[in-house]
Amino acid sequence: MDEREDGSVDAVFRYDGTTCTNMGRPLTFEYNVKLGPREEGYPIREQHCAPAVGDTGHTHMCQYIADPEGMMGAIDREKPLGGERLNAVLSWRREANGAGCFCEAASRNHKWGLVLETIHYALAQRELAQETES
C-alpha cells in the first residue's frame, strides 16, 4: 500500500490460485484498488482485476475456454462496492465460494471480498500503530 500526498491510498493485492479443472493449473491475478483519504472514510474510487503479467493459467479456466472475451470483460467490469466507503466490506453479504478460479461471479465476489477485507485490516492496523505511537 502506498499513501499519496493527498491522503489517498493505492493498494495492490496479488492472488495466487489454481484452476478448478484442467489439473489445477496455477494462475495469478493482480488487484489494484485506489481509495480516497481517511477523512472521507477511504471511499473506493477505482478497482481493477486482471491476470498478472506473464500469467497463462487463466487461459485454462472453463469459462475462459468457452468465451474468453466475455469472461475477461466481466472481470474487468465488476467493481463491487465501488464508490462506497471501505467499511462497507464488513457488512457486505456475499455467497461463500472458495473456488480457486474466476469462472463464476460468486467466486470473483468472494475474492474481491478477501481483497477489500485485507486492505481494511492493513489500514486499521496501521492506524492503531500510529495511535499507539502518539
Residue numbers of the domain that contains 8 = 2-133
The closest alpha carbon to 104, from 64, 45, 57, 69, belongs to 64
pLDDT at 134 over 70: no
Model pTM score: 0.92
Grid coordinates representing 45 are: 474510487
pLDDT by residue (tens digit) across 106-121? Answer: 999 999 999 999 999 9
Domain count, the chain: 1
Strands 44-51 and 26-35: antiparallel
State how far Cα 72 lies from the chain centre: 15
φ and ψ at residue 125, rounded to 5 degrees: -65, -40
The residue among 88 and 101 whose pLDDT is bigger is: 88
Per-residue pLDDT, 70: 96
